[in-house]
Amino acid sequence: MAERSRAGQAFRVWDHVGTVWALVMGCARQGTPLTVRAEGSDLVFQPAVLRVAAGSMVVLTFENNAVFSHYFILVNSDEATLRAADMTGMYAHSPLLPSQTIQDFSFTVPSAGTYFYFCSFPGHLAGGKRGVLTVQ
């Protein structure tokens, strides 16, 4: 009988651990929601302009409904620097997202200013796969 009681207590402890883990993961996913989409064979992000408050935690949903794989990379650079593939000012990035997949990731936006997001897959930036994040 005592073993059953201890097993029941152990189960209750693991149940509480699971509850705490769910709460932690839920808190980690809170933030300003933004969604960026890639559609069809177009080399554009939708929307091409995002706005968010400075210092915000962002939960970005990257929906790749396109026929190609894509990256989402957020940098503090101008287009000339992007063409030179200078990634020194990178703030956030996604893994290479295959066609017909969705990826959520979070990051804290930097201070007020204009930032750029783009796809670094060969030829995609030159084809227009870029956008602007305005932080106010």
Q: What is the DSSP string of the chain?
A: -HHHHHHHHHHHHHHHHHHHHHHHHHHHT-SEEEEEEEEET----BSSEEEE-TT-EEEEEEEEEESS-B--EEES--HHHHHTT--TTEEEE---B-TTEEEEEEEE--SSEEEEEE--STTTTTTT-EEEEEE-
Domain limits, the chain: 1-30, 31-135
Asked whether residue 34 carries a pLDDT value surpassing 90, the answer given is yes
Asked whether residue 8 carries a pLDDT value surpassing 80, the answer given is no
Q: Which band of pLDDT confidence, cut at 50, 70 and 90, is reported for residue 44? A: confident
State whether CATH 3.10.20.600 applies to domain 31-135: no
